[in-house]
C-alpha cells in the first residue's frame, strides 16, 4: 500500500500532479537474485520491518539489474582534468535531441550504479506513460580512493559537461531536465541549483532534495550563502524544489525536519518555490526502497509534469 503523506505548505495530489498529464500507475519492483534465507537483509524486506534496517538492495542485485538493461547504459567519464573518477552512467530507452534526463546524485558512499538501479525502471515506465523520452543520468562524483567528493563548482561543471556532451551529439536536450539528490547528494543539490544558469542557460528548474541538507550552525553550501550574504533574492527565481524527509530519519538535524526546513527557508529567500513532502513513517532510505513503492514515483511525476 502507498505510504501516507503529510504535505506542508501546498496540497499536492501526487497521482496526477496538479491535473497535468495522465495518472501513471506505479511499476513493480525489479526482479533480483534470491536473497539468502536467515540474513538480516531478508528480514528487512518484510512488510513490518523497521525502517532502519540495512539498506536493500544488495550489490549483487544492483549489478544484475544494471548489466541487463536494454538498451545498455553508457559510461561517460574523464570530462574534468584531474578528476578521472568523475562521470556518469547514462540510460534512455531511445535517446534523441528531445530527451530530458533525471540527473541524480548519490549519497556518501553511493554509486552511479545504485542510482541507476533505483531510477531506471521508474523513468522507463513514466517515459512510456507520458509518451516522452526521459532518461537517467546517474552522476559519479566521489573519489573512491579518498571518499572525498567534488565541490559545488566542479560538480556543476561536470553536470554541464555531461548534458552539453549529450546535446552535442543529438542524445539529449539542452534544457528541461530535472535533478535529484539523496543525502549528501541532496545537500549538494542546493548549490548546483544556484550555479546552474550562471552561464545564461538554466538546464532544469525542478529539483528533488531527498533526505539531505545541513545542520543548524554548520555552513550551508557556499553558492547559497554567497547569494544570501550579497542580498540576492532572485538567484533561484523560477526554480522549484521538492524537499522530502522522513520523521524516523536517524538524524533530524541534518536530514530530517530541522535540516530540511532550514534548507527550504533558504530556497524561498532566494526566490525559489518549495514543497515539503513529509513521510511520517520514513527513515533515511524510505524514499528509494523498492519494496515500498510510491515515494520516488510520485516525485518523478512531479518533476516531469
Pick the range with the lowest mean pLDDT from 29-38, 99-108, 124-133, 175-184. Answer: 29-38
Quick one: three-class SS letters along 212-275? Answer: CCCCCCCCCCHHHHHHHHHCCCCCCCCCEEEEEEECCCCCCCCCCHHHHHHHHHHHHHCCCEEE
Instruction: With a cut of 50, say whether residue 1 has pLDDT above it.
Output: no
pLDDT at 288: 67
pLDDT at 4: 40
Kindly give, in sequence order, each residue whose CB lies less than 8 Å from that of residue 202, ignoring residues fewer than 6 positions away.
175, 196, 238
User: Average pLDDT in the 112-130 region?
Assistant: 91
pLDDT at 9: 37
Residue 8 has phi, psi (to 5 degrees) of -105, 140
Pick the range with the lowest mean pLDDT from 165-174, 201-210, 235-244, 279-288. Answer: 279-288
Q: Which three cell numbers stand for residue 218?
A: 554548520
Distance CA 60, CA 41 (A): 13
User: Average pLDDT in the 118-139 region?
Assistant: 93
pLDDT at 235: 94
What is the per-residue pLDDT across 12-30, written as a single tens digit (0 to 9) for each?
333 333 344 457 887 766 5
What is the per-residue pLDDT across 249-263, written as a single tens digit (0 to 9) for each?
777 778 878 899 999
Q: Are the beta carbons of 73 and 45 closer than 8 angstroms?
A: no
pTM: 0.85
pLDDT at 8: 42
CATH class of 6-17+55-303: alpha beta
Q: What is the mean pLDDT of the chain?
A: 83
User: Average pLDDT in the 193-206 region?
Assistant: 94
What is the per-residue pLDDT across 208-251, written as a single tens digit (0 to 9) for each?
999 888 888 888 999 999 999 999 899 999 999 999 988 877 77
Q: Are the beta carbons of 132 and 96 closer than 8 angstroms?
A: no
Amino acid at each position: 500500500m502507498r505510504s501516507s503523506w503529510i504535505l506542508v505548505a501546498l496540497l499536492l495530489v501526487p497521482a496526477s500532479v496538479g491535473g497535468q498529464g495522465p495518472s501513471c500507475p506505479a511499476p513493480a519492483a525489479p526482479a533480483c537474485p534470491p536473497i539468502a534465507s536467515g540474513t538480516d537483509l531478508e528480514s528487512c524486506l518484510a512488510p513490518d520491518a523497521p525502517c532502519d534496517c540495512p539498506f536493500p538492495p544488495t550489490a549483487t542485485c544492483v549489478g544484475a539489474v544494471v548489466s541487463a538493461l536494454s538498451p545498455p547504459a553508457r559510461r561517460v567519464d574523464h570530462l574534468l582534468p584531474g578528476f578521472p573518477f568523475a562521470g556518469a552512467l547514462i540510460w534512455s530507452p531511445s535517446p534523441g535531441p528531445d530527451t530530458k534526463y533525471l540527473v541524480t546524485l548519490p549519497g556518501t558512499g553511493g554509486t552511479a550504479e545504485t542510482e541507476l538501479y533505483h531510477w531506471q525502471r521508474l523513468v522507463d515506465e513514466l517515459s512510456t506513460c507520458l509518451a516522452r523520452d526521459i532518461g537517467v543520468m546517474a552522476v559519479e562524483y566521489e573519489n573512491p580512493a579518498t571518499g572525498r567528493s567534488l565541490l559545488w563548482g566542479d560538480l556543476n561543471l561536470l553536470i554541464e559537461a555531461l548534458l552539453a556532451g549529450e546535446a552535442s551529439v543529438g542524445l539529449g536536450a539542452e534544457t528541461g531536465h530535472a535533478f535529484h539528490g539523496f543525502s549528501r547528494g541532496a545537500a549538494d543539490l542546493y548549490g548546483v541549483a544556484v550555479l546552474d544558469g550562471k552561464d545564461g542557460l538554466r538546464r532544469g528548474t525542478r529539483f528533488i532534495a531527498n533526505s539531505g541538507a545541513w545542520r543548524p550552525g554548520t555552513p550551508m553550501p557556499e553558492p547559497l550563502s554567497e547569494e544570501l550574504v550579497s542580498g540576492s533574492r532572485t538567484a533561484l527565481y523560477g526554480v522549484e524544489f521538492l524537499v522530502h524527509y522522513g520523521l524516523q530519519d536517524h538524524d533530524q538535524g541534518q536530514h530530517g525536519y530541522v535540516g530540511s526546513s532550514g534548507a527550504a527557508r533558504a530556497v524561498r529567500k532566494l526566490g525559489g518555490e518549495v514543497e515539503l513532502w513529509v513521510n511520517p513513517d520514513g527513515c533515511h532510505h524510505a524514499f528509494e526502497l523498492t519494496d515500498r513503492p510510491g515515494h520516488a514515483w510520485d516525485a518523478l511525476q512531479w518533476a516531469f509534469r
